[in-house]
Structure 1
């Protein structure tokens, strides 16, 4: 799965690079095309000086993203990295690649292209020329000032900044991927912790109940052992996946509820209703178990009449779960919003990002949970 998902990203990255360099190639020609001559531009495209200009900036860009940024900037050697940037900018300032490799060549080509199409003025014989370049006696003409190649400087800064943006965004994507993988490992660890938490407590109580059934030679002994076996197999094997068939999750809940009923008396009534089509649907394992377990842990009384309502509805696009139970002061320990529900929220955030709606309401004597996953 990973190689197939990586190939389109690599392909798209190369396409972006190629399009970027094509835009870079068009930019200098656009700057020089005020006095456009198609023939001159075509001749310039065939000249080695133009491709040497591109090669210089090509080398600057990839030297920056493959050597300087990983070796200096990402290792927080900002001073040395800045010194190299200033040195490169100074070198471009003095070498003037655009001025010397393209601008002058371009106008030379334009001058050649005008040959035969423009009338040339003949210079007078040497003896009739006026030496206009010679300054008058006693006058000192200043030397020609150094021309600044702004195009080369701007392109250098653009190439450098784009290289930094490209590499930093790549590092950000890698960091984000590591965070996602870390969250996945964390969610898996929390699921394992939850299973380790539910197994001993539930297992010991259920075995004690089954032992009582065996002592009394109840007909429910063998079916209870079979349900416990299937449930523990589901928790330890099938529930290791991110998603499981909804039918298997419901079977686990039914087994759990039936085993819990072994310890209940006539004061407690449990209603478990399923509506809709559950075939070919999937759900995150043990997401619902947390709320059902809490309902039996905090909503059961041996002295007062009590009722637990559990309802599950499956539609074409969503699964709706509802659980309601009464609250008894003897069982209130402030743990209802404890680690079980907190871990369930985190797993929902990871497995159903922006695709679930969890509502938990606690009134004076009633606790309700409604969960919809899409």
Structure 2
């Protein structure tokens, strides 16, 4: 509604300015008008009203009907015909008015006025330039919308790549508990059901509350800890307030999955640290784990990282930094996002 009102006001201001422009207009040649009588201004106001009509006729009809369809001959003929009619109407008005006042100079009344012709030419040029400018702006908006739709579709595809691996890794952990007939099997299944609800429903949104995302990660870490021995030490730490902040869902979970997949041992001591710091609207994620498995026939580690990189580029382009380093026995991920 506000946009429509602003458009109407813009048109009204344009018309007011265009019609009141005669003070800057060249006097019509061949006419002998006394400026003190006001006839000069009245004549040019009439000419400018007709020129404004030519502006809108060209903008809303001639250009869409002929120029955009490459009917250039039709377009040129339409402009010339409009110019002829435009120049004819004031001449008729002059004839009618001058017949009432003597002496009447019939030949002078038919002379083509240069001032109004310049105004009509200006109206045609302005309407053409503005139409082309708006056409370019619309094409840019269309390109942006197509790009946004493409990015949204790609984001959905990337999220769908994450979900199967999440269920696969989680079920493997619960299977290990069941094999040992661990008392943690039932709590792990309950925890999984809560996490599945988040993955299947909440994560379908473009963005989720950061509090929910952190709760999901905390639940995942808690469930994985159920199958770990005392030799595997895990530190999960949250610093700062996440209230009211939102984030793209399932963005950091691939890093945490990799921590448990490649950093856990059944006999040697390992350490894992996952720390999230939130300062105002900046999130800093850092994970560090001992490297236990190497050169495995599993592409998910590479797929998961490239997946996150692409999603970060789509959702937080220019607003994130991701650093990944792999030392002799330690894998470190540092991520900073401006939410």
| TM interval, short-chain normalised | 0.7 to 0.9
* Cα displacement (A) at 1:369: 2.4
Partner residue of 1:88 out of 74, 79, 92: 79
Match in the other structure for 1:362:
325
**SS at 2:83's partner residue?**
helix
Cα 1:224–1:195, aligned 2, differ >3 Å: closer, same or farther?
Answer: farther
Match in the other structure for 1:249:
213
Which consecutive unaligned segments of at least 5 residues does structure 2 have? 28-32, 102-106
Match in the other structure for 1:170:
134
Aligned partners of 1:214 and 1:329: how far apart in 2? 27
Q: CA RMSD in A?
A: 3.9
Match in the other structure for 1:8:
2
Aligned partners of 1:303 and 1:86: how far apart in 2? 90
Aligned partners of 1:267 and 1:154: how far apart in 2? 90
Aligned partners of 1:177 and 1:164: how far apart in 2? 20
Note if 1:373 corresponds to 2:338: yes
Match in the other structure for 2:21:
27
> Does structure 2 conserve the Cα–Cα contact (< 8 Å) formed by 1:275 and 1:312?
yes
Show CA shifts across 1:183-205 (max 9, x none): 44334323332332222222123
Which has the larger Rg? 1
* Cα displacement (A) at 1:234: 0.9
Aligned partners of 2:135 and 2:266: how far apart in 1? 59
Note if 1:338 corresponds to 2:303: no
More moved, 320-329 vs 340-349: 320-329
Partner residue of 1:195 out of 159, 169, 175: 159
The equivalences for 1:68-79 within 5 A come to: 68-75=62-69, 77=70
Show CA shifts across 1:103-138 (max 9, x none): x89xx9xxx9xxxxxxxxxxxxxxxxxxxxxxxxxx
> Does structure 1 conserve the Cα–Cα contact (< 8 Å) formed by 2:63 and 2:75?
no
> Does structure 2 conserve the Cα–Cα contact (< 8 Å) formed by 1:231 and 1:252?
yes
**SS at 1:286's partner residue?**
coil
Aligned partners of 1:201 and 1:59: how far apart in 2? 65
Match in the other structure for 1:207:
171
* Cα displacement (A) at 1:163: 2.0
> Does structure 2 conserve the Cα–Cα contact (< 8 Å) formed by 1:210 and 1:224?
yes
Show CA shifts across 1:73-94 (max 9, x none): 334x1xx236524662586379
> Does structure 2 conserve the Cα–Cα contact (< 8 Å) formed by 1:97 and 1:152?
no
The equivalences for 1:1-374 within 5 A come to: 7-31=1-25, 40=38, 44-45=41-42, 50-51=45-46, 53-75=47-69, 77=70, 80-81=71-72, 84-85=75-76, 88-89=79-80, 92=83, 96=87, 100=91, 149-261=113-225, 268-297=232-261, 306-325=270-289, 329-330=294-295, 335=303, 338-349=306-317, 356-362=319-325, 364-365=327-328, 366-374=331-339
**SS at 2:280's partner residue?**
coil
Cα 1:154–1:89, aligned 2, differ >3 Å: closer, same or farther?
Answer: farther
> Does structure 1 conserve the Cα–Cα contact (< 8 Å) formed by 2:207 and 2:248?
yes
Which consecutive unaligned segments of at least 5 residues does structure 1 have? 1-6, 113-142
Question: What is the TM-score with the length of structure 1 in the denominator?
Answer: 0.69
* Cα displacement (A) at 1:337: 5.2
Question: What is the TM-score with the length of structure 2 in the denominator?
Answer: 0.75
Aligned partners of 1:294 and 1:175: how far apart in 2? 43
* Cα displacement (A) at 1:283: 2.2
Cα 1:60–1:8, aligned 2, differ >3 Å: closer, same or farther?
Answer: same
Cα 1:66–1:264, aligned 2, differ >3 Å: closer, same or farther?
Answer: farther
